[in-house]
Amino acid sequence: MNSSHPLYLSILVVLISFLVSCDCDCEEDAELPDLEVTDLTFTPSNPTTIDEITFNATVVNSGGATAGINDMTFRIGGETEGEIFEVPELVPGETFTVGRSITLDVAQNSQNTVTVDIENIIKEFRENNNTATLHYVVTQGESYTVGVFYYPWYHENFHGGQYLRKRLMPPQLPELGEYDDREAAVIDQHLEWSRDAGIDLWVTSWWGPGSMEDGTLLDHILPHSNLGNMQIALFYEASGRTDNFSHYTNLDPDISYITENYFDHPNYLHIDGKPVLFIYLTQVMGYYGTLANSMSTIRAAATAAGYEIFIVGDHVFGGPPSTADELALLDAVCNYDVYGSMGATGYAAQFSVDRYYTEQAGWKYMAESVGTGFVPGTTPGFNDTAVRSGHGPLSRKLSDSAEFGSLFRTMVQGAKELVNPEMGNMLLVTSWNEWHEDTQIEPLASAAVTSTDDSPTGMDYTAGMEYEGYGTRYLDILSEEVKP
């Protein structure tokens, strides 16, 4: 076709007109706002059914003009409506981020959907980028109730001040020094450390009405402004209250006193709606044949005060029993003296820990066969040589070449395998602050490793084993093992 032909010229004119029109439209569109949903994120990176998950979504105006105020929807998981957020006016390049925090209690694949300008009131350069989705997986999480045996007996002279760490060369003292545990700042720090480590429960030593421990609990710990959701339960020191199991006349009035002064406190531990009492050395009552009558007396005293009590007996020791008759008298059982029950001194080694938890599994089986709960125990080590003789110390290392804290970590891992969901997956640590027996996990001031003590030989207390000023090591281990 000749380029001068009228038809050719007509087509060329139409084409040029179309291109000019498109260019004008593009320029016009480029001057419009363009809202886009970007950066859908979440933490933690591997969420579980017990985590609080924080989701964030960002809207950016990637257009050439200011976008007016509009609404966006933020739907999490299976939500049909989600939550609506107002998006402010955004100039070109400006962003707006919103977040939502939620716990998703079902393990499954999930999807979040975020849509901006839900009423389509903003004329935009593009209308197909207002929605974004995020896919993620929520896995089943395991939550634990972590209890520590807590000793409120450091009001005066640090309960005598006889403990291994003070005899070391150089001494290794508590991070708070030889504190007065009635001081509000001390209680506050204990609470903060406990929460950071995932500790939910203080099982507190109790030596009777009017005792130092009773006064510290009633007048200082339970009224403390930072008690928060920390649960409290009494550890009834049965040996002290029965004169080493020679008479039991204190049981009835003691329980009446406890019901009146403790059971109604909002922080007092309840299981199945029943106030919980831990009792020291119920296995000794069994040995003397006084367990049945003692438990009957305790339950009757609680009933008379209007309570159905839940008794956790310190009944587990050594290998499991051949019958469960005594276990049936208790609502649950635990093992306070983990050191004695394990039977190891020096370096425990893995086989001692494995043997211990094999025996604990046997106790759990026997207890649950009669409907009694089981609570596994742990300890970081043991050394009571500064207050008594006859017990070989147990290192906090599994072996001479292992790292400090290896015994505790291994024991916590073993205890986790034996928790009972009906008991809130509870496990117990001996102890928070039994400094006399060096079972404490309470922070110690940082100090160099030493195996020397102030005895004539330089190793009467340490037996030549190394001890470190461990700082928060044991709280860190506990947090790593029990917090999701």
* Same-domain status, 126 and 55: yes
Please check whether residue 309 is in contact with residue 275, taking contact to mean a CB–CB distance below 8 angstroms: yes
Residue spans of beta strands (DSSP E) within 231-388: 231-236, 270-271, 274-279, 310-314, 332-334, 373-375, 377-378
Q: How far apart are CA 52 and CA 105, in angstroms?
A: 10
Give residue 140's pLDDT.
Answer: 80
More confident residue, 311 or 12: 311
What pLDDT band is residue 50 in, cutting at 50, 70 and 90?
A: confident
Q: Does pLDDT of 24 surpass 60? A: no
Q: Provide the domain count of the chain.
A: 2
Backbone angles phi, psi at 155, to 5 degrees: -75, -40
Give residue 26's pLDDT.
Answer: 45
CA dihedral 172, 176, 180, 184 (to 10 degrees): -170
Q: How far apart are CA 447 and CA 168, in angstroms?
A: 11
Query: Token pair of 111, please?
Result: 């999807």
Give residue 302's pLDDT.
Answer: 98
Q: Does pLDDT of 272 surpass 70? A: yes
The average confidence (pLDDT) of the chain is 93
Q: Average of pLDDT values for 76-101?
A: 95
Q: Which domain holds residue 98?
A: 31-138
What pLDDT band is residue 5 in, cutting at 50, 70 and 90?
A: low
Residue 56 bridge partners (DSSP): 41, 99
Residue 174 lies in a domain: yes
Residue 466 burial (C-beta neighbours within 10 Å; 0-12, 13-18, 19+): middle
* Same-domain status, 134 and 151: no
Name the range with the highest mean pLDDT among 27-31, 103-107, 226-230.
226-230
Residue 60 lies in a domain: yes
pLDDT in tens, 423-462: 999 999 999 999 999 999 999 999 999 999 999 999 999 9
What is the dihedral sign for C-alpha 249, 251, 252, 258?
Answer: positive
Q: Does pLDDT of 484 surpass 80? A: no
Per-position DSSP letters for 416-461, written without gaps between them: HTT--GGGTTEEEES-SS-GGGT---S-EEEEEEE--BSSTTS-TT
Q: Does pLDDT of 15 surpass 60? A: no
Q: How many Cβ atoms sit within 10 Å of the Cβ of residue 113?
A: 18
* Same-domain status, 175 and 271: yes
Local structure of residue 218 (DSSP, 8 states)? I
Location of structure tokens 């994120």 = 41
* Same-domain status, 121 and 233: no
Please check whether residue 403 is in contact with residue 397, taking contact to mean a CB–CB distance below 8 angstroms: yes
Q: Does pLDDT of 49 surpass 90? A: no
Final residue belonging to a domain, choices 112, 138, 164: 138
Q: Kindly report the CATH number assigned to the domain that includes residue 293.
A: 3.20.20.80
What is the dihedral sign for C-alpha 357, 362, 364, 367?
Answer: negative
Residue 10 lies in a domain: no
* Same-domain status, 128 and 153: no
Residue 312 burial (C-beta neighbours within 10 Å; 0-12, 13-18, 19+): buried
* Same-domain status, 444 and 332: yes
Location of structure tokens 């009694």 = 372
Please check whether residue 387 is in contact with residue 438, taking contact to mean a CB–CB distance below 8 angstroms: no
Residue 6 lies in a domain: no
Please check whether residue 135 is in contact with residue 109, taking contact to mean a CB–CB distance below 8 angstroms: yes
Q: How many Cβ atoms sit within 10 Å of the Cβ of residue 41?
A: 14
Give residue 10's pLDDT.
Answer: 57
* Same-domain status, 361 and 470: yes
Please check whether residue 438 is in contact with residue 400, taking contact to mean a CB–CB distance below 8 angstroms: no
Q: How far apart are CA 60 and CA 94, in angstroms?
A: 6
Q: Does pLDDT of 27 surpass 70? A: no
Q: Does pLDDT of 116 surpass 80? A: yes
Residue spans of beta strands (DSSP E) within 240-329: 270-271, 274-279, 310-314
* Same-domain status, 226 and 108: no
* Same-domain status, 37 and 119: yes
Final residue belonging to a domain, choices 85, 115, 138: 138
pLDDT in tens, 320-359: 999 999 999 999 999 999 999 999 999 999 999 999 999 9
Q: Kindly report the CATH number assigned to the domain that includes residue 72.
A: 2.60.40.10
* Same-domain status, 388 and 333: yes
Q: Does pLDDT of 178 surpass 50? A: yes
* Same-domain status, 206 and 83: no
What pLDDT band is residue 4 in, cutting at 50, 70 and 90?
A: low
pLDDT in tens, 459-473: 999 999 999 999 999
Backbone angles phi, psi at 18, to 5 degrees: -65, -45
Give residue 219's pLDDT.
Answer: 98
Backbone angles phi, psi at 471, to 5 degrees: 60, -125
pLDDT in tens, 359-400: 999 999 999 999 999 999 999 999 999 999 999 999 999 999
Give residue 320's pLDDT.
Answer: 96
**Which residues, including other chains, have CB under 8 Å from residue 447's CB and lie 6 or more apart?**
170, 171, 172, 468, 469
Please check whether residue 418 is in contact with residue 325, taking contact to mean a CB–CB distance below 8 angstroms: no
* Percent of the chain whose predicted confidence (pLDDT) is above 90: 88
Q: Average of pLDDT values for 256-260?
A: 98
Give residue 7's pLDDT.
Answer: 56
* Same-domain status, 247 and 262: yes
- Find the range with the poorest average confidence among 1-15, 195-209, 296-310, 338-352: 1-15
Angle, helices 406-416 vs 473-482, to 10°: value is: 30
The amino acid that residue 423 corresponds to is M
What is the dihedral sign for C-alpha 408, 410, 414, 416?
Answer: positive
Residue 333 bridge partners (DSSP): 313, 374
What pLDDT band is residue 19 in, cutting at 50, 70 and 90?
A: very low
The amino acid that residue 157 corresponds to is N
Residue 23 lies in a domain: no
Q: Average of pLDDT values for 251-275?
A: 98
Residue 14 lies in a domain: no
What is the distance, to the nearest Å, from the Cα of residue 425 to the centroid of all Cα atoms in its chain?
11
Give residue 105's pLDDT.
Answer: 86
Residue 12 lies in a domain: no
Residue 4 lies in a domain: no
Final residue belonging to a domain, choices 78, 103, 138: 138
Query: Token pair of 228, please?
Result: 């928060």
The amino acid that residue 195 corresponds to is R
Give residue 12's pLDDT.
Answer: 47
Give residue 2's pLDDT.
Answer: 52
